[in-house]
Amino acid sequence: MRTGRLRERVGGTVLLLGTCSLLTDISSEMVSAILPLYLVATLGFSPLQYGIVDGIYQGASALVRLAAGFLGDRWGRHKVLASLGYGISAVCKLGLALIGGAWAGLSAIILLDRTGKGMRTAPRDAMISLTAPEKELGLAFGVHRAMDTAGAMIGPLVAFALLAAAPDSYRTLFLISFFVAILGLGVITLLVREPESRRPVVETEKPDLRAAMQLLKGAEFRALMIAGSALGLTTVSDGFVYLALKEQVDFDNALFPLLATGTAVLYMLLAAPLGRLADRVGRGRVLVGGYVVLLGAYCLLMAPSAGVVSLILVLALLGTYYAATDGVLMAMGSRYVPEELRGSGLALLGTATSVARLLASVLFGVLWTVLGLEATIMIFGAALVVAMGLAVRGLRIADA
């Protein structure tokens, strides 16, 4: 699809936000691609310690996301809050370069970084949903996620090149990540405009917290949030998947960042097509299909290793899972949230799934420490089957 045609269908704001996310994800994925290896292999963290840090990384943004979504609605300043979130995350990359390997310091920096992510995510998604045509929301979120994931593909490549040229140069990597994040911050602050309301709003009409919480009374939105939470609670984080692959298929540490790139390739290629497919055949169907694909990845991790073939297949399945679920879930949520509460509603949905994934990461770390890796993946696989069964009914209600 030509860029001009795409701009007509989803709007220029979506493409600019995608560019901002692309640069930010280059920065973020330079760090997150090597973080499991850095913490476990270099600093000597146990699976339980890593699970706690990864839980913070996965879910610490939850409450901040909820507050940012609500304040963006109330103040009508989604761009300001998103920009502040991007700025906080950028500064944290500099903090990682300076803090060293102290457990408390690293945890604090990661917590602050995820706070920045939480602050930007709901306002950014609200801007996408407020500027793209409603019938093209799946495509709009898919395009944004594809551009976001292009950054997620490039970031690990940069990390790999740097570590291959200068092994253990983690602080230099964090510093370069900081400068790339500043470029992304410049895009949103200088080029993106605050979206205007598409319907007349009475001057005194200001969304309040009670109105935001009233969203939970809607059967469709509530069913979607419960379904997303149940599925998130059985989702193994990327970091643990990559560490499992490291145990299953022994390879050099310098290649570790490329695992995230392998995931990102399929995510980038499939995000927009699967978003369009969801608009046409039903977003709930595509979402559940994504979790079926994730279950396939779990099965491969439990099966006897086929070496590089197993590794490639797991990464391909993981990328396909993200393409079928991430933007599609936000597009589904946008359907049941009024315009004036769009940030709050998407934040509620994102918060529920983030908290579920935080709990999943901590639980996975505990079970790995107590029971071992294979048994833990088996437990999560069985739980995912149950969660999909419970979620199908809720998604059928939400996507009716």
Q: What does the pLDDT look like over 286-341, one tens digit per residue?
A: 999 999 999 999 999 988 876 888 899 999 999 999 999 988 888 888 888 887 77
| Contact assessment for residue 190 and residue 298, using Cβ atoms and an 8 Å cutoff | no
Q: Is the pLDDT of residue 371 over 90?
A: yes
Look-up of token digits 């209600």: 397
Q: Is the pLDDT of residue 203 over 60?
A: no
**Mean pLDDT across the stretch 130-150?**
85
- Tell me what pLDDT residue 163 has: 83
Report which of 106, 399, 95, 356 is spatially closest to residue 237, judged by C-alpha positions: 356
- Tell me what pLDDT residue 37 has: 74
Exposure string (b/e) for 72-97, b if CB count within 10 Å is 16 or more?
bbbebbbbbbbbbbbbbbbbbbbbbb
Q: Is the pLDDT of residue 346 over 60?
A: yes
Residue 80 lies in a domain: yes
The one-letter amino acid code at 309 reads V
Distance of CA 200 to the CA centre of its chain: 33
- pTM, entire model: 0.72
Distance of CA 310 to the CA centre of its chain: 24
In which band, very low, low, confident or very high, does the pLDDT at 23 lie, cut at 50, 70 and 90?
A: very high
In which band, very low, low, confident or very high, does the pLDDT at 197 lie, cut at 50, 70 and 90?
A: low
Residue 202 lies in a domain: no
400 Cβ neighbours under 8 A, 6+ residues apart: 220
Q: How far apart are CA 192 and CA 16, in angstroms?
A: 7
Residue 102 lies in a domain: yes
- Tell me what pLDDT residue 60 has: 61
Report the percentage of the chain scoring pLDDT > 90: 25
| Contact assessment for residue 388 and residue 287, using Cβ atoms and an 8 Å cutoff | no
- Over the stretch 32-56, which tens digit does the pLDDT of each residue have? 777 777 777 777 777 777 777 776 6
Residue 337 lies in a domain: yes
- What number of other Cβ atoms are within 10 A of residue 194's Cβ? 14
The least confident of 88-92, 169-173, 231-235, 304-308 is: 304-308
Look-up of token digits 């291959």: 164
Cα atoms in the Cβ-side hemisphere of radius 13 Å centred on 324: 19
Report which of 113, 124, 131 is spatially closest to residue 57, judged by C-alpha positions: 113
- Return the CATH number at 285: 1.20.1250.20
Q: Does 180 or 197 have the greater pLDDT score?
A: 180
The least confident of 146-150, 183-187, 222-226, 302-306 is: 302-306
Q: Tell me which DSSP letter residue 340 carries.
A: G
Residue 201 lies in a domain: no
Q: Does 350 or 360 have the greater pLDDT score?
A: 360
Residue 199 lies in a domain: no
Q: How far apart are CA 260 and CA 157, in angstroms?
A: 9
- What number of other Cβ atoms are within 10 A of residue 185's Cβ? 24
Q: Is the pLDDT of residue 369 over 50?
A: yes
**Mean pLDDT across the stretch 153-172?**
84
Residue 280 lies in a domain: yes
Q: What share of the chain is helix, strand, coil (3-state, %, to 5)?
A: 85, 0, 15
Residue 203 lies in a domain: no
- Tell me what pLDDT residue 21 has: 92
The total of structural domains in the chain comes to 1
Domain of residue 292: give its range: 7-194+208-398
The least confident of 37-41, 134-138, 239-243, 247-251 is: 37-41
Q: What is the residue-averaged pLDDT of the chain? A: 83
- Tell me what pLDDT residue 204 has: 44
- Over the stretch 73-121, which tens digit does the pLDDT of each residue have? 878 888 999 999 999 999 998 888 887 666 667 778 877 887 888 888 8
- Tell me what pLDDT residue 313 has: 93
Q: How far apart are CA 84 and CA 89, in angstroms?
A: 9
Q: Output the six-digit token pair for 201.
A: 């709003």
Report the percentage of the chain scoring pLDDT > 70: 89
Q: Is the pLDDT of residue 198 over 70?
A: no
